[in-house]
Structure 1
């Protein structure tokens, strides 16, 4: 992976993680770096799922892929928040 791919993955991870936090009600008590990490993971896994479903490469904006990624980020943020609350 080239440096431009890594930078774009980080930027997309920030966007996906932030949108995942915004979807959840209330305040999430996790840091910015955790949000970015969850967003990057959700972006990669969401792209894999969308590719498996055949909706990753469509004309224009891949709305279904974005929705999958945001849903995974929201689930990841919620799971991480619950995990951190227990410890």
Structure 2
């Protein structure tokens, strides 16, 4: 993976994390830094997965994989973070 691919994946992840924060704000209290970090890391994993699947370079298919990974990760974190657990410990 080239430096341009890594930077692109990080930018895509940050954008998806920020958009996820805007879309899912009312559901749970998650800090902005967490959604941005999760988005960036998941987009990098998406870029690695796309590369392993044979998608080379900055292509639309590669970006779709990155956005899918980042969006899914942000949605999962927001859906599962910040809620109280039921029952006593």
Q: With structure 1 as the length reference, what TM-score do the two structures score?
A: 0.65
Instruction: Show structure 2 runs of 5+ residues with no match.
Output: 85-89
2: CA distance, partners of 1:12 / 1:27: 18
Instruction: Let me know the Cα RMSD of the aligned residues.
Output: 3.0
Deviation of residue 10 (structure 1)? 4.9
The size of the alignment, in residue pairs, is: 77
Task: Judging by fraction of residues, say which structure has more helix.
Answer: 1
Instruction: Show structure 1 runs of 5+ residues with no match.
Output: none
1: CA distance, partners of 2:44 / 2:10: 11
Q: Between Structure 1 and Structure 2, whose CA radius of gyration is higher?
A: 2
Q: With structure 2 as the length reference, what TM-score do the two structures score?
A: 0.64
The 4+ residue runs of structure 1 with deviation greater than 4 A are: none
Structure 1 residue 69 and structure 2 residue 49: aligned? no
